[in-house]
Amino acid sequence: MDLGLKGKIALVSAASKGLGYGVARALARDGAKVSICSREAGNVERTAQSLRDETGADILASVCDVTKPDQITAWVEQTVAAWGRIDALLVNAGGPPGGLALEMTDAQWQSAFELTLMSSVRMIRAAVPHMTEGGSILTITSSSIREPIERLGLSTVMRSGVAGLVKTLADELAGKQIRVNNLIPGRIDTERVAQLDEAAAKRSGLSVEEVRAQSIARIPLKRLGTTEDFGSAAAFLLSPAAAYITGATLRVDGGMMRSI
Ligand code: NAP
């Protein structure tokens, strides 16, 4: 199926590795021009070069910490200066720390708000003026917005806010024919998931392999997802092939979530 991404201009945040990288790679393979960012220049430059080498696509690399409003503005402006418009935006960031909700300080709540919710508002607000009819925005949240995860209260609360933002903006941007959707990763094999498994192993006294085996046992397809699995679903939702899908939340979880 031709997704219609050839020549489209996409922004993908937090893309030097993990889910963001998987999405940038899927878009680049389908012929989009992709502007990626992350906080560390070395990381983002290395990833951009490997995407260029693999796909031959035009890739821009920018340093942007999405908790910094001026850096978001600069990233979007650099992309528009280079390519003139934006067709697709993938909104991503690192995850907030784990721990019991009531043990989190006000400062931790505030920084989770900036990292997860306000970064989404700011990236979308910066990109929309440069989007034309047919533009597409996709956020990444978590299965916790449907089924809260133990010790991930900050993530659950802030990502539920992002899900509310998506549904709100699907209405508000529909008049401009801009679509807004949300993608839930179940357990996709990335460094973040490896770190969460290590923390769970320390708490439980199990080995990391045992923790991982337990989580795979809960997934009907009996494996972790790959960044390719996630990237393909994201590329579809960001593409013209998904022209009549807006305000939707799709799960890429191998059947893991139990809610209907
Ligand atoms: P990851 O493997 O740790 O990758 C995180 C990426 O984000 C890196 O490229 C990192 O690059 C960049 N980054 C982190 N903080 C940033 C910031 N403030 N500004 C810009 N870039 C930033 O994580 P992941 O598994 O891909 O997860 C991505 C998001 O999805 C996280 O919020 C995570 O909690 C969420 N999530 C993931 C899963 C899963 O199954 N993997 C499940 C549920 C939710 P630099 O270090 O160079 O900045």
Residue 125 CB partners (closer than 8 Å, separation 6+): none
pLDDT tens digits, 178-209: 999 999 999 999 999 999 899 999 999 999 99
Ligand 1 closest atom vs CA 67? 18
Q: What is the 3-state secondary structure (H, E, C) of the chain?
A: CCCCCCCCEEEECCCCCHHHHHHHHHHHHCCCEEEEEECCHHHHHHHHHHHHHHHCCCEEEEECCCCCHHHHHHHHHHHHHHHCCEEEEEECCCCCCCECHHHCCHHHHHHHHHHHHHHHHHHHHHHHHHEEEEEEEEEECCHHHCCCCCCEHHHHHHHHHHHHHHHHHHHHCHHHCCEEEEEEECCECCHHHHHHHHHHHHHHCCCHHHHHHHHHHCCCCCCCECHHHHHHHHHHHHCHHHCCCCCCEEEECCCCCCCC
Same domain assignment for residues 90 and 201: no
Residue 55's pLDDT is 98
What's the mean per-residue pLDDT of the chain? 97
In a domain, residue 257? The reply is no
Buried b / exposed e along 121-153 (16+ C-beta atoms within 10 A): ebbbebbbebbeebbbbbbbbbbbbbebeebbb
In a domain, residue 211? The reply is yes
Residue 240's pLDDT is 98
In a domain, residue 260? The reply is no
Evaluate whether 113 touches 157 at the Cβ level (below 8 Å): no
If 0-12 CB within 10 Å is exposed, 13-18 middle and 19+ buried, where does residue 229 land? buried
Same domain assignment for residues 109 and 89: yes
In a domain, residue 68? The reply is yes
In a domain, residue 3? The reply is no
Angle between helix axes 18-29 and 41-55 (nearest 10 degrees) is 30
Same domain assignment for residues 232 and 218: no
Q: Determine if ligand 1 sits within 6 Å of the CB of residue 66.
A: yes
Q: Determine if ligand 1 sits within 6 Å of the CB of residue 95.
A: yes
Same domain assignment for residues 180 and 211: no
Same domain assignment for residues 61 and 152: yes
We report the CATH number of the domain holding residue 161 as: 3.40.50.720
Domain extent, residue 208, equals 188-224
Same domain assignment for residues 99 and 68: yes
Whole-structure pTM value: 0.98
Q: How many domains does the chain have?
A: 2
Residue 49 binned pLDDT confidence (cut-offs 50, 70, 90): very high
Residue 147 CB partners (closer than 8 Å, separation 6+): 257, 258, 259
Same domain assignment for residues 58 and 166: yes
CA pair distance 28, 240, nearest whole angstrom: 15
Same domain assignment for residues 242 and 131: yes
Residue 171 binned pLDDT confidence (cut-offs 50, 70, 90): very high
Residue 189's pLDDT is 97
In a domain, residue 171? The reply is yes
The pLDDT > 90 percentage for the chain reads: 98
Q: Determine if ligand 1 sits within 6 Å of the CB of residue 190.
A: yes
CA pair distance 96, 139, nearest whole angstrom: 16
pLDDT tens digits, 219-251: 999 999 999 999 999 999 999 999 999 999 999
Ligand 1 closest atom vs CA 65? 19
Same domain assignment for residues 103 and 203: no
CA pair distance 162, 179, nearest whole angstrom: 15
Residue 117 binned pLDDT confidence (cut-offs 50, 70, 90): very high
In a domain, residue 259? The reply is no
Same domain assignment for residues 13 and 128: yes
For residue 109, report the distance from its CA to the centre of ligand 1, in Å: 18
Tell me the average pLDDT across 4-19: 98
pLDDT tens digits, 82-115: 999 999 999 999 999 999 999 999 999 999 999 9
Minimum CA distance residue for ligand 1 atom 10: 14
Same domain assignment for residues 125 and 234: yes
For residue 49, report the distance from its CA to the centre of ligand 1, in Å: 19
Q: Determine if ligand 1 sits within 6 Å of the CB of residue 92.
A: yes
In a domain, residue 246? The reply is yes
Same domain assignment for residues 52 and 69: yes
